[in-house]
Amino acid sequence: MNASAGIWKWSERIAPVASEYRVTLGEGGTPLVRSRRIGPEAGLEHLYFKLEHVQPSGSYKDRFAAVAISRLLERKAPCCLATSSGNTGAALATYCAAAGIPCRIAILETTPAGKLVQMLAHGADLFRIRGFGVDPEINRRVFDVLTKVGEAKNAPPQISAFRYSPEGMSGVCTISYELAEQRKHVERPLGHVFVPAGGGGLALAVAKGFESQPDMATPRIEVVQPEGNDTIASALREGASEARSVASRTAISGLQVGSVIDGDAVIAHCRKTGGSGHVVSDEVIWKVQRRLAVEEGIFCEPAGAVALAGALQAASRGEIDSGATVVCLVSGSGFKDSEALERLCEDTNVPTLEASDLKDVL
């Protein structure tokens, strides 16, 4: 392992880990690309996408896993205990395989098959929990059990939220460090960063990452949620100080987190940047996912299209200056959700032809 690779270039800013215990698969360093079609059509001439779906396991959660598993190695934990709706588990299973640590994950019943296969392929032990991710009380009980077992085993549970795993989440802050570097290659200062949210850890990490860089102006951190999991966005928009638990009813995998978790802190930190909350329907998210694939060549899962859905909605409401630089985080790969892929392609048809007929259709 090259301890200087991946996000460890930021080792002085993230949770301290001795170099011999640092695990990396080359995570981080993701591209920031300018929109060619969707942005200009919406009147956003400076719209950019931060492509987190190109990470080693296919999502930004690799930044979390790299630090979380390195810390477990350093403390000589016998295993990794975790919860996941998909991407966290896939990332942790990937990095546990690299580190040689057993991985045991409590998962949502609704976790997409593609993400389950990814975890199983890396040797993780999985346990479906009825009602987990939908019922806030069941969520609390699962977290409590993992915390108690983790304390007994010297293996703190790895849950991708500052409330539970602040050390691992320090790795996610590196998104902001990279954006600060990449802004030198765009025409204007960063104005808005749109972030998808379930429990809110990603939005909080982005806000904290910018806050820790006093030499640059912090962009507005905009929180976008599916309307079926509106724990943070409306509260932030309406001026409330606390997030709200809900019975999650969105079909957007990865954002089915009805518990508050990091929500209160997200509201406080994002409001300080001048950012707001944005709620979008599942149907709009699916349409934007398809637009990203067809119009921009970006193949993401539905959750990866949520930030752009929020930005387009804000633009249509006149909430973004047409000259502002807007960044949307594309959080996960389209290969992770087979049901979403079927929906994405349900209106397409692949005909079978004779070789002699090919010239007539080209």
pLDDT in tens, 271-313: 999 999 999 999 999 999 999 999 999 999 999 999 999 999 9
3-state DSSP assignment of residue 106: strand
What pLDDT, on a 0 to 100 scale, did the predictor assign at position 338? 67
Q: Which of 28, 27, 263 is nearest to 161 (CA)?
A: 263
Fill in the DSSP letter of residue 180. Answer: H
Domains 6-59+170-336 and 61-168 share a fold: yes
pLDDT of the residue at 2? 46
Q: How far apart, in whole angstroms, are the C-alpha atoms of residue 254 and residue 52?
A: 14
One-letter amino acid identity for 220?
R
61-168 placed in CATH 3.40.50.1100:
yes
Residue listed under structure tokens 């979008």: 280
Q: Which CATH number fits domain 6-59+170-336: 3.40.50.720, 3.40.50.2000, 3.20.20.60, 3.40.50.1100?
A: 3.40.50.1100
Q: Which residues of the chain have pLDDT under 70?
A: 1-4, 338, 340-342, 344-345
Domain ranges of the chain: 6-59+170-336, 61-168
Q: For residue 25, what are the contacts with CB-CB under 8 A and spacing of at least 6?
A: 6, 56, 57, 62, 66, 94, 95, 98
Burial of 160 (0-12, 13-18, 19+ CB in 10 A): buried
Its pTM stands at 0.92
| Cα separation, 321 vs 246, whole angstroms | 33
pLDDT single digits (tens) 80-137: 999 887 899 999 999 999 999 999 999 887 787 778 889 999 999 998 888 887 787 8
